[in-house]
Amino acid sequence: MTSPKDFTALLKPHPNADGAKILADERQRSNVDVQPLSLHLFGQQYLERQQRILAIVQKHRVFSKANQANVSRPDRYKLGLARGKRMRQLMDEHGWDDDDLLMAEYLIDDIQPYHLHMSLFTSAMREQCDDKQRLEWMPKIASWEVVGAYAQTELGHGSNVRALELTATWNNASKTFDLHSPTLTASKWWNGTLGRTATHSVVIAQLLLPEGPNGQLRSHGPHPFIVRVRNEKTHLPPKSIVVGDIGPKYGYAMMDNAYMLFDHHRVPHSALLCRYASIDPVSGIYTKPNNPSSIYGSLVRGRSVIVMNARLILARAVTVAVRYLAIRRQFRDRDAPDSIGQEMCVLDYPTVQIRVLPLLATAFALHYSGAAMKALYERTRSTNALDGDRAQLAELHSTSAGLKSLATELAANGIETCRRAMGGHGYGGGTGLVQLNADYLSKPTVEGDNWMITQQVARSLIKKVGEVVASPDRRIASSTDACLSSFHKSHGRGEDATSILNDNLAIVKAFEHRMAWMAFRAHRLREVEKRSWNSLLIDFHKLSRAYSQCILVTSFYDALKADEVPPGSTHVVLSHLFRLFAFATLDADAREFQQSGAVAASDLDVLQDQILELMGQVRPHAVRLMDAFAIPDYLLDSALGRYDGKVYEQLFYNAHVLNPLNRTTFNPDYRTDEIVMGSGDGGAILAKL
């Protein structure tokens, strides 16, 4: 921070608002071991990578975040392209691997226009190409000679892939496919990297083949094609393709999400990615070999990434909130005898704690669940995996949709909760959360809408209950089986209810009991009472939520029991966090726990007091706990969340030194249209519209 050249250069915050001193004191007051906890959470390799990549990206001006909020959306795309190029150049220069590049993108915190090339396009080509196609394409993809996208979603069709309208009609005479968009709603839509950047795209279209003597067309459903959408030299599309960027959206200003339509655009036989289905180029006969079973658990691995990402997003918001709220002072204690006392630390108000501290606990709960999923996936890849592990994985495979739904909802809502808890400055650019918030709001919708996909969880659990009811003495393969089976044998009473107040295992049992109660209820309504599927969707959503919360609570409990957590005070504080997370979750759905008989009403009645007490126990450690998440200042990009606590200094610097608007003097006289004083620019602003 350079000093301004006026009297403000000498000013400091009020001594009671000296954030640097306050945060130092906060860190002094807690004995949580930050380094071991960091290591426990992330491992040496991750922390080393973060440090190494950070040092490199911070050196390049193109990655400076200082003024990016003042850049127009078209310029943000240009900046994104420039950043994407530089990242790839650095990859060549420093010999980065894929994880290094992902770390750079994470730290720079701008999804780059090349993102889909590196992710979905590459993985689709690797997965869908046959060996010959792979040989042809993968080198070009690795060298970025082609830049690819993945075009599935259409203007009128999202999750229901079978309803896509774009057709690819095989012409056996010309040996080509005719790609055609019959309607406006058949336009591809939302497809990242395709709007302005990509040269190629995987395109999903309904494969139509002439059949029978009259050559009538028959649909074989959606199939993937590789299509060159722009000329290598001019970067312009052919006349038979219309493609462009869909325009500004909530977030992701630097990403060029696309629309794309085809007017009888022809592609060769080799365009069909034919690992799983092919057409004989001579006879025109379609064959679809048996789809090899999908790689066991890859979905679980994918969902664990989403959960682990959600905990990092949430940790960013909580880090900012905890540091700022520890520094901020407001009002004196109403009950304090001396009315001249100092203002209170805002983080000491229960109304602030109740919003922020359970989210701090949630970040840990998400961490342990994501880590458990990942570990489970990795254990089952070894040849001597235990049967129990495999059964757990199979179960998570079908129910992890619920975890995606819950984790992204917790993180998305958590950002906004933290923001509001920060009061006035929470609305300013100094939070560093403006872009994060806008970007992350996509997550509850993409990769399976958070409400829609919970049906998958319900379907799986209803099936399991059916099996338990049909054969109560069947082999128990997973913890959910065990829980449903025990619930069934007890005729829905569950085990003898133990008070949850002083027994962590009883907390886990309570979450299991409520989940089982809801699963049996869903089973009865659907399978016995034969209610319509749609009339039960809300119940299914609640069941999925209960199941997923059960996983979060259980994973947290298991992690504490496994003694992987650093011992001593850190372990004690994490135990408090476990209970805080569980009780806050329980309190929000208290009636479900009461109605299901999972928790005694008398326990529920005192939950609020318990939560208050736990928050008091966690409070002194809040700053250090978030320090352990090791989120660098460069990533936070937050005046309020600076590690060193210089909140007010940075806010003022951003405004007085950085803000470009202050370099212009304006003419406020409404009788003239001049905007910039003395410029005679009346009416010029209209050109921007």
225 lies in the site for a second copy, by CB under 8 A: no
Q: Which of 20, 39, 56, 246 binds a second copy (CB under 8 A)?
A: 246
In this structure, the number of other CB atoms found within 10 A of the CB of residue 140 comes to 15
Spatial distance between the Cα atoms of 365 and 550, rounded to a whole number of angstroms = 11
- Judged by CB under 8 A, the chain residues 395 through 424 that form the site for a second copy are 416, 419-420, 423-424
**Which stretch in 282-290, 466-474, 497-505, 602-610 sits in contact with a second copy by CB under 8 A?**
602-610
- Judged by CB under 8 A, the chain residues 538 through 557 that form the site for a second copy are 538-539, 541
Task: Give the distance from CA 444 to its chain's centroid.
Answer: 8
The DSSP element (H or E) to which 571 belongs, if any, is helix 569-588
Tell me the H-state helices in 471-536.
Answer: 479-489, 504-523
21 lies in the site for a second copy, by CB under 8 A: no
**Which stretch in 280-288, 383-391, 478-486, 680-688 sits in contact with a second copy by CB under 8 A?**
680-688
151 lies in the site for a second copy, by CB under 8 A: no
Spatial distance between the Cα atoms of 391 and 411, rounded to a whole number of angstroms = 29
Among 127, 447, 467, 674, the active-site one is 447
144 lies in the site for a second copy, by CB under 8 A: yes
- The region, left, alpha or beta by phi > 0 then psi within -120 to 50, assigned to residue 175 is left
Residue 347's nearest CA partner among 12, 13, 29, 15 is: 29
- Judged by CB under 8 A, the chain residues 45 through 64 that form the site for a second copy are 61-62, 64
594 lies in the site for a second copy, by CB under 8 A: yes
**Cβ at position 176, least distance to a second copy in Å:** 19
- Of 75 and 495, CB closest to a second copy: 75
**CA angle, 256 as apex, 149 and 414 as ends, to 5°?**
105
Spatial distance between the Cα atoms of 604 and 595, rounded to a whole number of angstroms = 12
Q: At 529, give phi and psi (nearest 5°).
A: -80, -10
208 lies in the site for a second copy, by CB under 8 A: no
Spatial distance between the Cα atoms of 536 and 524, rounded to a whole number of angstroms = 11
**Cβ at position 82, least distance to a second copy in Å:** 5
- Judged by CB under 8 A, the chain residues 436 through 455 that form the site for a second copy are 437, 441-442, 444-446, 449-452
Q: Which of 3, 72, 298, 499 binds a second copy (CB under 8 A)?
A: 72
Task: Give the distance from CA 116 to its chain's centroid.
Answer: 16
Cβ contacts of 382 within 8 Å, gap of 6 or more: none
- Of 269 and 576, CB closest to a second copy: 576
In the residue annotation, 127 being an active-site residue is answered as: no
> Token pair of 271, please?
């365009």
340 lies in the site for a second copy, by CB under 8 A: no
- Of 250 and 474, CB closest to a second copy: 250
Q: At 536, give phi and psi (nearest 5°).
A: -105, 5
222 lies in the site for a second copy, by CB under 8 A: no
198 lies in the site for a second copy, by CB under 8 A: yes
160 lies in the site for a second copy, by CB under 8 A: yes
88 lies in the site for a second copy, by CB under 8 A: yes
- Of 236 and 562, CB closest to a second copy: 236
- Of 32 and 433, CB closest to a second copy: 433
466 lies in the site for a second copy, by CB under 8 A: no
The DSSP element (H or E) to which 412 belongs, if any, is helix 387-421
Which residues belong to the active site?
Answer: 447
